[in-house]
Amino acid sequence: MEGSAGPAVTVVVVTWQGAHLLPACLGSLRKQLQPHRVIVVDNGSTDGTEALLAERYPEVRIVQTGANLGFAGGAQVGLAAAETPYVALLNNDAVAEPGWLSALVRRLEACPSAAAVTSRMLLQGTDPPLLNNTGVVLLDTDYGADRDLRAGGDTRLEAGPVFGFSGGAVVLRREAVQDVGGFARQFFLYYEDTDLSWRLRLAGWDVWYEPAAVVHHAHSATVDQTSAQFAFFNERNRLLMLTRCADPSRVARALLRFGLTTASLTVSRVRRRPVPDVPVFEPRLRLRVLASYAGLLPWALRTRWEIRHR
């Protein structure tokens, strides 16, 4: 769809130290069948990103944040900078097939109750093809998870509602997202998309999955998911999301479980019992999570009231 004022959709690509990833990503956007604008939000990169964009991608609008705001902060900056009714997000380590954006826009226009349409994300370089996700689900353990992770590439070929979208490849109805507060910059990395999906649902909107919108994603090309950084943000932001969006009993259960697990792991370390050597089981990291969560708790409670009364 393109009116007299130009395309109806802007694609936002958030990047940090990703100059080596951008050519494949932006090259795929040049091949899109759907007219669109492109904004690259550069989170203070020092790897020549700005020069690369100026030299090779003159059609791209560059928004410099001056600092690393994480994906959550960068996505919110891009959302604010876009002037179109629809805003798509594409990870800098993802490559979109030519019909990706047009399929997302068609589905969004066909579903007036939808505020977001998430894509069919395939893991790059797998043979036979394997799925990265077909949206996000919320597990009984209160963790968010990629739906259909590592399922066969011929899985989930029908469109339909899903709990949440993946921020790696999605189109959003900008006005709806702004009405519920946009992306929470405090999250920095991880769960910002699930948190926003939950808030949209609480406001009466739906999230849809569109199988014809295909992207190929180099999973964890930007952040190592076995790292302490991943474990920290993944655990802290899950607790923040639940505090903002979930029923009180669910919040209490998650906090109690996290505290008891941390205490148990601490005792095991002191008594030199075997504990898996991964960051999420490190008591000091979990105590950092609790300290950071406590520091953000006043914000989470204040915004919870706003979310519940919106």
Domain CATH code at residue 167: 3.90.550.10
Within this chain, do residues 167 and 258 fall inside the same structural domain, yes or no? no
What is the rounded distance in angstroms from the CA atom of residue 155 to the CA atom of residue 307? 35
Query: Is 223 a member of any domain?
Result: no
User: What does the pLDDT read at residue 5?
Assistant: 58
pLDDT digits (tens, 9 = 90+) for 231-261: 999 999 999 999 999 999 999 999 999 999 9
Confidence (pLDDT) at 4:
45
> Which residue, 10, 14, 20, is CA-closest to 87?
10
- pTM of the prediction? 0.94
Same domain membership, residue 265 and residue 192: no
Whether residue 179 sits in one domain with residue 61: yes
**The pLDDT of residue 213 is above 80:** yes
Please report whether residue 222 resides in a domain. Answer: no
Q: What's the number of domains the chain is made of?
A: 2
User: Is residue 95 within a helix (H) or strand (E), and if so which, with residue range?
Assistant: strand 94-96
pLDDT score at 97: 98
pLDDT in tens, 152-193: 989 999 999 999 999 999 999 999 999 999 999 999 999 999
**Predicted confidence band of residue 222 (pLDDT cuts 50, 70, 90):** low
Q: Is residue 82 part of a domain?
A: yes
In the numeric block, the tokens 């994603």 are attached to 217
b/e sequence 43-58, b meaning 16+ C-beta within 10 Å: bebeeebeebbeeebe
- 58 prior amide bond cis, ω within 30: no
- pLDDT above 80 for 220: no
pLDDT computed for residue 276 by the predictor: 86
Average pLDDT over residues 62-78: 98
Residue 26: band (very low, low, confident or very high) from pLDDT cuts 50, 70, 90: very high
In a domain, 200, yes or no: yes
Instruction: Tell me which amino acid residue 196 is.
Output: L
Q: Are strands 61-64 and 86-90 parallel, antiparallel or unpaired?
A: unpaired
8 Å CB contact between 121 and 168: yes
**211 and 246 share one domain:** no
Tell me: the pLDDT tens digits for 75-130? 999 999 999 999 999 999 999 999 999 999 999 999 999 999 999 999 999 999 99
pLDDT at residue 7, as a whole number: 85
CA 10 – CA 77 distance, rounded (Å)? 13
Residue at a domain's end among 154, 183, 217? 217
Do 261 and 173 lie in one domain? The reply is: no
- 157/173 Cα distance (integer angstroms): 23
- Say yes or no: 50 and 169 in one domain: yes
The residue from 217, 252, 267 where one domain ends is 217
25 is a domain residue: yes
Domain co-membership, 183 together with 40: yes
Domain identity same for 99 and 196: yes
> 16 lies in which domain range?
2-217
116 near 170, Cβ under 8 Å? yes
Bridge partners (DSSP) listed for residue 144: 138
Task: Assess if residue 23 is contained within a domain.
Answer: yes
- Among 167, 190, 217, give the residue marking a domain's end: 217
DSSP readout, 256-282? Answer: HHHHHHHHHHHHHHHTT----SSGGG-
Between CA 168 and CA 177 the distance in angstroms is 16
Q: Once rounded to an integer, what is the mean pLDDT over residues 46-67?
A: 97
Question: φ and ψ at 149, to 5 degrees?
Answer: -55, 125
pLDDT at residue 1 above 70? Answer: no
CB 204 within 8 Å of CB 180: no
Token pair 């474990």: residue: 231
148 in any annotated domain: yes
